[in-house]
Structure 1
C-alpha cells in the first residue's frame, strides 16, 4: 500500500469563519475521495502573532516555523486566499516570502480564491499563478474561484465547483503520486 500524499493547504484568511477555508475543506475532502492523503490546513489568521512581526525567517515563532516547514515538504500545496484590493492578502504573501526559494520547485500546487464578485476571478492568473511560477512550482491548469454569491455563509451553493475540483484532482494527483514515489525511491 502506498504512503499517503502529504497535502498542505495555506488559507490566507484573516478572520474566522472563512469562505476560503470552506472552499479549501471541500477541495481536501474531494481529494481524499480520489487518493489516500494526509492533509493539513494552515490558516494565516492563526499565525498572525508569530508571522506579522517577523522581518525574516529567523524571526518567526515555532508555530510559524513549523507551518513553513510543512509547506516546504508537501507533496501537494493548496494555496487559497480571499481577494483584497484585487490580490491575495498581505500576510498570505508575507508567509510565502519566508518559504525557501527552491522548496516548491516541481511541487504540484492548486490555486484557489474567494472574492466579493466574479470581477475578482482573475486573481488566480494575475496574482497567484505568477507567485508560484517564481517558486518553479507545478501549478494546476485549472484554478478554483468562488464569489460571495456562491455561498450561504460558509456553505457552498454553486455545484459547478465540484467539477473544477475534480478537474484539479485529475490534473494534480497522478503527478503528485509519481513525484512522491520517485522522491521516496531516490531517498532509500
Structure 2
C-alpha cells in the first residue's frame, strides 16, 4: 500500500477534551477512508497544550526550541492535516492561532486540510467559515469543502444531533482522503544533499 503522513493538530485545553475527541474521530474516519483507497496512513498527533510555553518562547525569540521543532516538522512534512480548535469569543483559540503563526511561511502551500471546531453551543459554528477558513486560505492550503463543528448536544446518545455529527465526520474524512490520495507523497528534503563529499573536501573542491 502507498504511505501518507497525516498530522493532527488539537488545541484542546482540558483533559479529556471534546476537541481531542473530535480530532480522534476525524482521524479514525480519515485513516479508514484512505485505506479504502489503498493508502496506509502514518498519524502524528500534536497536542498544543503541551507546547504552550514553547510557542510563547518562539514568539519572543523567533526560534523553535527542541521540544517544539518536531511538532512543526510533523505539520510541514505532512501529506494532510486535521486541525481542530475550541471556539473562544467567536473564533479559534489563541493557542491554535499562535501555532500556525510560527509555522514557516509558505510551508503549507497546497497541503490538504480538514478543519474542525468545538464549542458549548451551535451559535459558534460560523467560526469555521469566518475565522478558520480564511486563515488556511492565507496559508495557501487546500481546505476540504466540509468542515466539522461539534456542540455539546452533538455528543452522546443516538439522536438526530449525534447522527448528524457522524455523517459530517464521514463526509469530511472522505473529502480529505480523496485530496491526500491524489497528491504525490510529501518528500523530506535532505539538508545535506548538496554538501560536498569528504573526499572532495580533502582535494579542496
Q: TM-score, normalised by structure 2?
A: 0.81
**Would you say 1:43 and 2:47 are equivalent positions?**
yes
Aligned residue number for residue 2 of structure 1? 2
- Contact 1:78–1:111 (Cα < 8 Å) also in 2: yes
What is the 5 A alignment of 1:28-39? 28-35=27-34, 36-39=40-43
Pairing 1:98–2:97 present: no
Paired position in structure 2 for 1:109: 113
Report the secondary structure of 2:58's partner residue: coil
Q: Residues 56-135 of structure 1 correspond to what in structure 2 (within 5 A)? A: 58-135=62-139
Distance 2:48 2:142 in 1: 22
Listed as ranges, the gaps of 5+ residues in structure 2 are 35-39, 191-205
Instruction: Work out whether residues 154 and 165 of structure 2, in 8 Å CA contact, stay in contact via their aligned partners in 1.
Output: no
Task: Give the drift of 1:101.
Answer: 1.6
Task: Give the number of equivalent residue pairs.
Answer: 179
Q: Distance in 1 between matches of 2:78 and 2:127?
A: 23
> Which secondary structure does the structure 2 equivalent of 1:59 belong to?
coil
- Between the aligned partners of 1:180 and 1:19, the Cα distance in structure 2 is 33
CA contact (8 A) 1:78 1:110 kept: yes
Q: How far apart are the structure 2 equivalents of 1:69 and 1:33?
A: 24
5+ residue gaps, structure 1: none
- Structure 1 counterpart of 2:176: 172
Match of residue 15 from structure 2: 16
* Cα distance in 2 for residues equivalent to 1:22 and 1:170: 19
Number of the residue aligned with 2:203: none
Task: Describe the SS at the equivalent of 1:136.
Answer: coil
Per-residue CA shift, 1:90-141, capped at 9, x if unaligned? 0110110001121111110001000110100001001100000001100001
TM-superposed CA distance for 1:169, in Å, is 2.2
User: Offset of 1:56 from its aligned partner?
Assistant: 5.4
Whether the aligned pair in 2 keeps the contact of 1:56 and 1:98 (CA below 8 Å) is no
The question of whether the paired residues in 1 share the 8 Å contact of 2:58 and 2:102 is answered with no
Find the structure with the greater CA-based Rg.
2
Q: Secondary structure at the match of 1:162?
A: helix
Indicate conservation of the 8 Å contact 1:52/1:91, yes or no: no
TM-score between the two structures when normalised by the length of structure 1:
0.88
